[in-house]
Structure 1
């Protein structure tokens, strides 16, 4: 009988910056959500093989308000730990991550990062209002020492000209009684020559404090660095191989961009490390699936250093499982009919802590009603509800009941990366055409450009079924008036633009592709669109659906 294996990635689609904790027989992984609301995804497993999305803890305005946060800003790199009968969640809300420009010239790289702490006695219960910790950098992490004291580490940002922006890992004690950081701030690790030192986590074992960091940037140069010290504040000596996991200079490895890691052990002492990775589109090198989460089996060597179980230091698609009792979860339904007053957990929206302004599941029972709000370029109130793309090939179908009366009113099916990268099949209205369908694409090509297909008139006012078929970097749209007979748009759209790697120069891109539903009313009247269902089915491969 074959040995059980874990197949990577364990969390497919946009699920970066994983932080893992074991509590008893349960394993939890928290991942970043950036501008998507609610904030932080927490996933659950009992065997490290099967995983389910359990909760998103930052779900109210007092905890998180992302209105105005730019693309790829918002919630970065959560750290999930458990101590003293509480779950502790640390996270960054990035309000700005860009360069100041004056008269077209690039200025100081001044950025705003605010780090917070929330707690809860249960991982899927209600979490506390946040404690603001500091704003000196991002990727905060909380370490609980054996004597009960707690320490916050984070990367330090230095905006001054001629300096290393990633100025090292700083450490400061946290007083839970006083609900604030106390004592001196110490820079404990300046990083290695590949730079971009971030993502710290501290562990204690055998009299040593072990520090792992992410380095090399979150693209193809990413790596997991390890160092250790007898003293918490250092000095830290580097691992003999420096990087304990990386796919740098290994284009042959299926899991690229390996880095930003965290450790856990099983009750029997097996060690596993979660890390981010990506699976680029073959022959294109673009990661529409975003940065995903994988896991590797690790071992402590006789010299007291951690290494991958095979000693190779590269990420593997198949990893030995720990031999725990199998614990699969029920498969998620491919079709959502919106019969519940709660939004299905696979779906999120953008930025706003006030979802009632954007959508309703009770205004028309059995439908998701989106209220027409701001443009797809807005950083404030967008009526856009979507789910992650989690495979290179999928079919997505929905039905929308929408009768616009003006060209400023639009609703439909969207394949979305951010405000400047999307393909949008939508219904709108023209004086000379009446109600019509067309595709709008926002395409990054060094300068941002919008492209439109010719309008296709739609008779009557009945609901219209909309469909997207994705095959790696090829996207096709279709529509139907009865849900059976489909009319295909002739355009073959470039889906690779829905990726981190496709962008105008200088713009941050750290998320992943979504597919979902959207509605705009730029006239300000809030005209609604009602979506009857949404279906998402993953495919192994796709044959051009336009062929007879």
Structure 2
């Protein structure tokens, strides 16, 4: 079979791609929202094979998300390069419900893509989705959408442009509105490109759901006026719900070092009905410029393809990520995330028990401040996850186990705790749209002190839990569960992440009970076509 790009290239919760080429290396930065560390940066040499290379925001001096709301934090980063320096623009969203959004935009820089990245320069808070355009005249310009909270107004108040001074490390001059968008509405995600005498403005429109799209406009002058592409959206799946890649929009463009053009864009794949448990992902499309100078998909229509012809580059594959992590290695790796703040020895350590990761219990799964939770993305429709945990709870306020976690409103948790009458028990709790529920019929009394193995098997929208004590055989626990609530599409207002699977500990009395984890396994299955 001929080599091809298989979409999505970044599977499971990797939205809002910012595409960059530096020499013969290709990078995509994606949003991380309330998950730490901030801004995932992926790397490829051939656009076919990708790896998670690093994260840009790894210090609380760069990003403090303590208390940030669900689906707040890092929105739509923009990665760029000029004069030997990498630039990264990002938004830290502090509030997002109701009329107002508190969206603070920052800039960090680095001489190497792998950092260290600088402490941030504050830019503005007028809206979100900022990007930096490096002009051919050596001037630099910040673009972002403006949020208009006033009643009776278009909340997406247009795209503004303002000059950035490298010498002064601040914005200078007055912001100028250069584009108000089309009748599709929800105009956001601006990126600016200069090609054949035109400034080409790429924006996302239609909202980041099923009406999402990429719209192009162009102007001879950077401040406009901008003429909208006469053929409408250059990329969308809004008109065809049969397409495997839905929600297609929010694009970012590069030219390869072989002179070929590719668009990275956001997409999502429904697991069942319209529910996207994997969250929003990133795909690539091949592009070309029309005879009259407009950007077009290479196939001649505006619908995204799953299989895309690659550029004329040699294949450079990367080693696969191991299925199982044994914590005797004392390393978590790039694919692990924590909520809102970095791991700290006060609650996560490899040094207290040889061969184990120890987590000290902190606040509940409802907390937006101090959770002891370590997790990784779900990246396949069907998978098995397994942990080995040693935990000796003394009361009902102490819990530890295996969790499938969308956000503080929606999760499913196979947890060990203690009951006044039964003693140490294993059972299932869950939250659906913020409503907490225990499944007491699933409770199992654990009489022996031994390593408890916990397993989750997910097939599309369904979940089954199992457990085993020591080296014993697996035993099913609880009913088969519907997990459509662990998706972007289950609740309002719209939310933006995807399902995670991980380990966590709570001690609601503040006595720092701990659990020890020996290993974590995540293995993708082939039950359904992907």
Equivalent position of 2:495 in the other structure: 509
Alpha-carbon displacement from aligned partner over 1:368-426 (angstroms, at most 9, x marks no partner): 21110000000000011000000000000101010000100000000110001011000
| Selected match of 2:509 from 523, 530, 540 | 523
| Selected match of 2:520 from 534, 538, 542 | 534
Equivalent position of 1:141 in the other structure: 131
Structure 2 unaligned spans of 5+: none
Contact in 2 for aligned 1:443/1:451 (Cα 8 Å): no
2-structure distance, mates of 1:129, 1:348? 21
Q: State the SS of the aligned residue for 1:339.
A: helix
Contact in 2 for aligned 1:98/1:508 (Cα 8 Å): no
- Within-5 A mapping of 1:48-59: 48-59=47-58
Q: CA deviation at 1:241?
A: 1.3
1:314 is the counterpart of 2:313: no
- Within-5 A mapping of 1:100-111: 109-111=99-101
1:297 is the counterpart of 2:277: no
Contact in 2 for aligned 1:95/1:113 (Cα 8 Å): yes
Q: State the SS of the aligned residue for 1:70.
A: coil
Show structure 1 runs of 4+ deviating over 3 A.
Answer: none
Contact in 2 for aligned 1:94/1:112 (Cα 8 Å): yes
Change in CA separation of 1:261 and 1:483 when aligned onto 2, cut-off 3 Å: farther
1:481 is the counterpart of 2:469: yes
Contact in 2 for aligned 1:254/1:279 (Cα 8 Å): yes
Q: State the SS of the aligned residue for 1:252.
A: coil
2-structure distance, mates of 1:453, 1:319? 49
2-structure distance, mates of 1:486, 1:51? 35
Contact in 2 for aligned 1:358/1:381 (Cα 8 Å): no
Matched pairs, number: 527
Equivalent position of 1:41 in the other structure: 40
1:250 is the counterpart of 2:240: yes
- Within-5 A mapping of 1:361-400: 361-400=350-389
Contact in 1 for aligned 2:450/2:470 (Cα 8 Å): no
Contact in 2 for aligned 1:4/1:323 (Cα 8 Å): no
| Selected match of 2:481 from 477, 486, 493 | 493
1-structure distance, mates of 2:484, 2:237? 22
Contact in 1 for aligned 2:258/2:312 (Cα 8 Å): no
Contact in 2 for aligned 1:377/1:419 (Cα 8 Å): yes
1-structure distance, mates of 2:253, 2:126? 25
Q: State the SS of the aligned residue for 2:149.
A: coil
1-structure distance, mates of 2:119, 2:229? 39
Q: CA deviation at 1:357?
A: 3.4
1-structure distance, mates of 2:505, 2:315? 43
Q: State the SS of the aligned residue for 2:345.
A: helix
Alpha-carbon displacement from aligned partner over 1:8-43 (angstroms, at most 9, x marks no partner): 000000000000100111000000000000101000
Q: CA deviation at 1:452?
A: 2.6
Q: CA deviation at 1:281?
A: 1.1
Q: CA deviation at 1:463?
A: 1.5
Contact in 2 for aligned 1:66/1:353 (Cα 8 Å): no
The TM-score, its normalising length taken from structure 1, stands at: 0.95
Q: State the SS of the aligned residue for 1:355.
A: coil
Q: State the SS of the aligned residue for 1:40.
A: strand
Contact in 2 for aligned 1:20/1:29 (Cα 8 Å): yes
2-structure distance, mates of 1:438, 1:380? 25
Equivalent position of 1:288 in the other structure: 277
- Within-5 A mapping of 1:40-79: 40-79=39-78
Change in CA separation of 1:465 and 1:539 when aligned onto 2, cut-off 3 Å: same
Equivalent position of 1:102 in the other structure: none
Contact in 2 for aligned 1:410/1:519 (Cα 8 Å): yes
Q: State the SS of the aligned residue for 1:453.
A: strand
Structure 1 unaligned spans of 5+: 100-108, 543-548
Q: CA deviation at 1:482?
A: 2.4
The TM-score, its normalising length taken from structure 2, stands at: 0.98
1:261 is the counterpart of 2:251: yes
1:470 is the counterpart of 2:458: yes
Contact in 1 for aligned 2:131/2:142 (Cα 8 Å): yes
Q: State the SS of the aligned residue for 2:56.
A: coil
Contact in 2 for aligned 1:9/1:295 (Cα 8 Å): yes
Contact in 1 for aligned 2:199/2:221 (Cα 8 Å): yes
Equivalent position of 1:103 in the other structure: none
2-structure distance, mates of 1:403, 1:3? 54
Contact in 2 for aligned 1:97/1:508 (Cα 8 Å): no
Equivalent position of 1:337 in the other structure: 326
Q: CA deviation at 1:354?
A: 5.3
Alpha-carbon displacement from aligned partner over 1:417-436 (angstroms, at most 9, x marks no partner): 00010110000001100000
Contact in 1 for aligned 2:328/2:518 (Cα 8 Å): no
1-structure distance, mates of 2:243, 2:440? 39
1:203 is the counterpart of 2:193: yes
2-structure distance, mates of 1:254, 1:110? 34
Q: CA deviation at 1:483?
A: 4.0
2-structure distance, mates of 1:483, 1:346? 28
Contact in 2 for aligned 1:67/1:352 (Cα 8 Å): yes
